[in-house]
Structure 1
Amino acid sequence: MDPYEAEAGKIPPTDLYYDLPLYGRYNPSPQDFKPLEEYCNSNTQEALQYWTEVLEKCDSTCYVYQNPFGGRDVFALGSIIIKSCHLGTRDAGSESSRDYSTADKNEVAAIQLVPNTVPVPRIFFSGKLKGKDAIVQERIPGVALNVAWPYLSPAQKDSFKEQTQKMMAELSTVQPPSTVLEPTYIMPDPNPIVNRDISSSESAILFSDRSERGSRKLNFMHNDLQPSNIIVRNDQIVGIVDWEHAGWFHWDDVGAVHSRFRTPRREDFAGIQLSEEELNDLEYWGDLYAFEPSDSSMCFK
């Protein structure tokens, strides 16, 4: 199958995401909902009313992802993605106490720092709707890399890793403010374990023993470069999404977080009979940070 096929009617029943037609695929059409420009990035009463009405259009038929842990859901409405918990309850589950406003502010601030050589979604709204945190952003046409992955050739996978690493290197050229001396999200977070839903182990890697790290460079990093956050089309990366974990971090620390928490490891599949080829494919994305962004010997096409 064409790895970039995004029309629901052309997806075979054997596809891993066949039962999730709005997940990871978007082929725009003229009839798609499009936000009114006059209300984008506005918090006037008229704009808040408009975005509330847009939110109310997002029902169970619009689910991209339904959060099973008491947290926020993701909806697709035409050309936009909305993250909101307006249909669910937040009185139970591991994410029920999460403050999404911190992550949303981080995403907005991070995207503003991204060089124009790295494609990102436009943010249309971020704030409170119906008393709850919501963020509305552009739905980039294409296919998520994890969705396209089973249909890609080894050469295509190599190319996407190389493209991603080139963008990582470009991000690292963005300099932190002179006041930033320690690892931090773009918008400092007093409680990332709760507000970012990260483990204490991840927090320890990113933030502990800061006094020993003064000599290492702080890089501008996306910090969640899973294939599901990379949108591709026609052998090119056309979007990097979900910047809520972005910040000023040490390269090797984010690399450690990536290999331990963001990608599969073969020991996770010890009880399953998988071939060496299948195991290598599962681990393929785990060494994404195995280069230094300032290394002139790292050649990109």
Structure 2
Amino acid sequence: MTFLKMRVFLYKLFTQPRGLRQAWLLGSDVVRIGPKVLLKHHGTVRPTEAFTMDFVRRQTHLPVPAVHDVFLDRRGHVYIMMDYIDAPELQAVWRRLSLAQRSAVVQELVTYLVELRALSPPDPNAVQAVDGGSLIDVRLGSEPFGPFAAVDDFHMYLGHTIIHDRLASNHPYAREALERCRHRTYRIIFSHSDLAPRNILYKDGHIAAIIDWEFSGWYPEYWEFTRTFDSSSWIIPEFWELFKAHFEGQYDDELVMEHVLSAEMTR
């Protein structure tokens, strides 16, 4: 099916009352169109996600679905047409895996991350999306934020200054960790930022795809570590422990900082 015919089909699919009977609904934001195509279409999807997927596919060996098309409807909602990957989420099969299989898949994931983290940023100081624009992350609310010219500006947005002002009275247990963070210099690293087991597709003993790149971008080097804790530790604690054990750096002080920020700041 050509892209023109596909777009005509999609128009009919979403404008005719029974259109959705022609497709398979996989969730609130994705529709499977035929055996090989997936359409992501909820109201907060941005073209940046498609740019990110294409960037990672071109620059690394990470298994990322190929993007075929990106377009907007009359309301300005973004649609991303990509490969459908016929594999279950790691979250769905985790309990059926042996300890050796669990360890192997996490090691494979971390190997991919080493490659991702080796990419050179276009600006070694800036916190930004792959296209140089704003970022999004559920950790920071529903609105886009940034870009930031420097890590200190990003930390200011996160609320680090507020936390340090309240440090003595509210968080004495975290004082040493927070002070160490305050005086560190961080490299800018490309991060997926939502490596929950639900975003890793698993088949035949290997990672079939890493999906949902909407939160990705150029961040301080600890960001992947702390965000993986937030997105996975309470769902599958064993996944987080294996991830932490194999990750190339340990950022326990930064994890304390994120916990304190979450306790103090709401958006």
Q: Taking structure 2 as the reference length, what is the TM-score of the superposition?
A: 0.66
Task: Specify the alignment match of 1:247 in structure 2.
Answer: 217
- SS of the counterpart of 1:174? coil
Distance, in Å, in 1 between the alignment partners of 2:156 and 2:232 is 25
Distance 1:174 1:129, change over 3 A: same
CA RMSD of aligned residues (A): 3.4
Q: How does 1:136-215 map to 2 (within 5 A)?
A: 136-177=81-122, 179-190=123-134, 192=136, 196-200=137-141, 207-209=154-156, 215=185
How high is the sequence identity, in percent, across the aligned residues?
A: 17
- 1:293 deviation in Å? 3.5
Distance, in Å, in 1 between the alignment partners of 2:11 and 2:195 is 28
Distance 1:147 1:291, change over 3 A: closer
- Please state which structure has a larger fraction of its residues in helix: 2
Distance, in Å, in 1 between the alignment partners of 2:191 and 2:74 is 32
- 1:80 deviation in Å? 1.1
Distance, in Å, in 1 between the alignment partners of 2:184 and 2:55 is 23
2:200 partner amino acid: I
- Aligned 8 A contact 2:65 2:84 in 1: yes
Which residue of 125, 128, 139 maps to 2:72? 128
Give the count of matched residue pairs: 211
The C-alpha deviation readout for 1:40-94, integer Å capped at 9, x for no partner, is: xxxxxxx3x632414544616621112xxxxxx2111221110124xxxxxxxxx
Structure 2 residue 26 is the aligned partner of structure 1 residue 64 = yes
Task: Specify the alignment match of 1:82 in structure 2.
Answer: 39
- SS of the counterpart of 1:150? helix
- 1:290 deviation in Å? 4.8
Distance, in Å, in 2 between the alignment partners of 1:82 and 1:55 is 12
Distance, in Å, in 2 between the alignment partners of 1:123 and 1:105 is 7
Q: Taking structure 1 as the reference length, what is the TM-score of the superposition?
A: 0.59
- 1:167 deviation in Å? 0.6
- Aligned 8 A contact 2:52 2:213 in 1: yes
Distance 1:136 1:153, change over 3 A: same
- 1:197 deviation in Å? 4.0
Which structure 1 residue ranges, 5 or more long, are not aligned?
Answer: 1-34, 40-46, 67-72, 86-95, 266-280, 296-301
- Aligned 8 A contact 2:57 2:66 in 1: no
